[in-house]
Amino acid sequence: MQVLDKTQVEAISQALGEPAWALKKRLEALEAFARLPYPSRKDENWRYTDLSEAPLDRPVEAPKGLSLTRDTLPEAVKRRLEKTDVAAFLVFVGPDLVYAEVPEELKAQGLVLTSLAEAMRLHPEKVEAGLFQAVFTEDKFAAQNSAFFTHGAFLYVPAGLELEKPVGVFKVLLEGSKASAGRSLLFLEDNAKAAYIEEYLSPDLPPTLHLSATEMVLRPGARLRHAHVETFGDGVWHFHRQRALLERDAGLNDLVVNLGGAYARSEVASELLGPGSESEMLGLYFGHGRQQFDHYTLQHHVEHHTRSDLLYKGAVKDEARAVFSGLIRLERGAQKTDAYQANRNLILSPTARVDSIPQLEIGANDVRCTHGSTTAPVDEMQLFYLQSRGLPRALAQELLVKAHLADVLTRIPLKALRAHIEAVIEEKVRL
């Protein structure tokens, strides 16, 4: 097996034409990657997860220079483009940016949506101001991504620009890709407003490693709606870390959806660094077969008069598993904080399992914080009621699942995206 070493890091950086500062940061991440062990069940944050079958320690796929037209894009992406309302988008197949569509009128207003590699060449000062600031070497997987990522998206929204429609990125894995690592950097200047959707798709694959990271920098007054939607096929092991840095009066509405793959882990953090900042964190997941979905969230209140609200809801059936571990952390100066956290789970079979651990760490004394968790099987009385009205059991269960997830779905203001998520969930319920 090819070793993950300095030679590889230098080759990736050179192939992408990166500046010296980027290579320096990659090499710092490589040192951390070499020093840190892969997690095991002895680690508190991994004690519910068995990584013995995970395809770890693989060299990532290198860019091939592939380019496509809109008509020759993968069928899965073309189907999504028929039903999405994004105003601009990028398509990655493996490590290659194969297609980009960004209207000239948006570019003329100062919007930048392109690959990280191109952004480093054309907008180096903008990228350097944000890259590696939010996700760097927090653990083995973050360090691995920071050292070896081969591709990624860059969104820059200048001060005062308000986008009417969302922009997005489609990332597709195809046969032959054994490991892939990418990241996104979203940078919104003062009082900018945007919505950004990143979708991850693939057919069923042999065991495949996918590492992703999303960094968000929100300057004072900026507002961002962000959605991370993962619908990989069977066989993909997806490790995702994202962190948002919110300055004074900035606002984030974040959605994480895990519906595909063999295993998906999302570590999502909101850092409320300025007074008046607020974060809404939403999560949806539905596991079937032997899927496992792990969610680790952090609502970190650093300054006073900040607000966060988290609602993660999911369902599992067959032998699927889900883990939720959420932490609200308040620093001593985070007075007048409002923070809420709720995790609700529905178990659809006796062999499915959910572990839910909501947590509080409060260092301030003039705050309002609440957290809660529920995990329960389908209510047989509700099923009986629906069946007594003539509904087959499968359809009755589908309606109960949709009702369970409804209060998250109704909080997604992007109608086309909400319809897509509802369709995928309906399909999974019927499996």
| pLDDT tens column, 298-318 | 999 999 999 999 999 999 999
pLDDT of residue 379: 87
The pLDDT value recorded for residue 2 is 54
**Per-residue pLDDT averaged across 122-144, rounded?**
97
Which single residue is written with the structure tokens 């092991």? 237
pLDDT tens-digit profile of 283-293?
999 999 999 99
pTM over 0.85: yes
CB 69 within 8 A of CB 99: yes
The percentage of the chain sitting over the pLDDT mark of 70, rounded to a whole number, equals 99
- Looking up tokens 């309606």 gives 399
Cβ atoms of 208 and 179 closer than 8 Å: yes
Q: How far is CA 285 from CA 49, 260, 321, in A?
A: 17, 9, 11
Lowest mean per-residue pLDDT among 17-26, 53-62, 200-209, 228-237:
53-62
* Region of 141 on the Ramachandran plot (φ > 0 left; ψ -120 to 50 alpha; else beta): alpha
Pick from 349, 76, 352: nearest CA to 205: 76
pLDDT for the residue numbered 428: 87
* pLDDT at 397 (0 to 100): 85
Cα separation of 202 and 51, whole Å? 21
Mark out the alpha helices in 165-259 (DSSP H runs).
Answer: none
pLDDT at residue 124 is higher than 50: yes
Q: Give mean pLDDT, residues 101-123.
A: 97
What pLDDT score was predicted for residue 430? 82
Q: Is the separation of the CB atoms in 137 and 146 below 8 Å? A: yes
What is the arithmetic mean of pLDDT over 224-234?
A: 98
Starting from the edge strand earliest in sequence, which strands make up the sheet with 151-157, in order?
112-115, 151-157, 179-188, 208-218, 236-246, 263-272, 292-301, 321-330, 353-362
Confidence category of residue 205, pLDDT binned at 50, 70, 90: very high
Task: Check pLDDT > 90 for residue 157.
Answer: yes
Question: What pLDDT does 1 receive?
Answer: 41
**pLDDT for 394:** 82
pLDDT computed for residue 242 by the predictor: 98
pLDDT at 71: 97
pLDDT in the model for residue 352: 97
The one-letter amino acid code at 362 reads: I
The residue count of the chain comes to 431
Task: Provide the pLDDT confidence category of residue 398 given band limits of 50, 70 and 90.
Answer: confident
